[in-house]
Amino acid sequence: MAYTKVNYEDVDPVAGSMHFLRDPLDCETVGVTVLDCEPGWSGKAHDHAEQNHEEVYLLVEGEATVTVDGEDVSMEAGDAVRIAPDATREIQNGEIESTFVLVGAP
């Protein structure tokens, strides 16, 4: 089959908020995650240097801050930020619910 389809809401979330779609979509190289953030939600600081994965964070709705190597990047719906594999990143959600689409690949 030339395509795979899944609704992210049918995928059990990890840590209550992250819907990892790589496996349900049978992706070979790209990772796709939908992140539903409650007000005040904060992620864990991390990088992907070991996997050599760059990422793009697209904020679909809401407002949030992504800290990249210590620099705060304010985001509102429609904004996207590309993050290099070795950069440390962390999401801090604002005062309203937000939804991100996170895409990563080597």
pLDDT tier at 36 (50, 70, 90 boundaries)? Answer: very high
Q: Is residue 36 within 8 Å of residue 97, measured between CB atoms?
A: yes
- The pTM assigned to this predicted structure is 0.92
Residue 25 lies in a domain: no
Residue 19 lies in a domain: no
Q: What is the pLDDT of residue 1?
A: 74
Q: What is the pLDDT of residue 3?
A: 95
Percent over 70 (pLDDT), the chain: 100
| CA–CA distance, 25 with 4 (Å, rounded to integer) | 5
Residue 8 lies in a domain: no
| CA–CA distance, 58 with 102 (Å, rounded to integer) | 6
Residue 11 lies in a domain: no
Residue 96 lies in a domain: yes
Range of the domain at 81: 32-105
pLDDT tier at 16 (50, 70, 90 boundaries)? Answer: confident
Mean pLDDT computed over 50-73: 96
How many structural domains compose the chain?
1
What is the residue-averaged pLDDT of the chain?
Answer: 95
Q: What is the pLDDT of residue 93?
A: 95
Among 32, 7, 37, smallest CA distance to 21 is for 32
| CA–CA distance, 51 with 49 (Å, rounded to integer) | 5
How many residues does the structure list for the chain? 106
Q: CA dist 31 to 34, 64, 72, 105, Å?
A: 10, 21, 24, 6
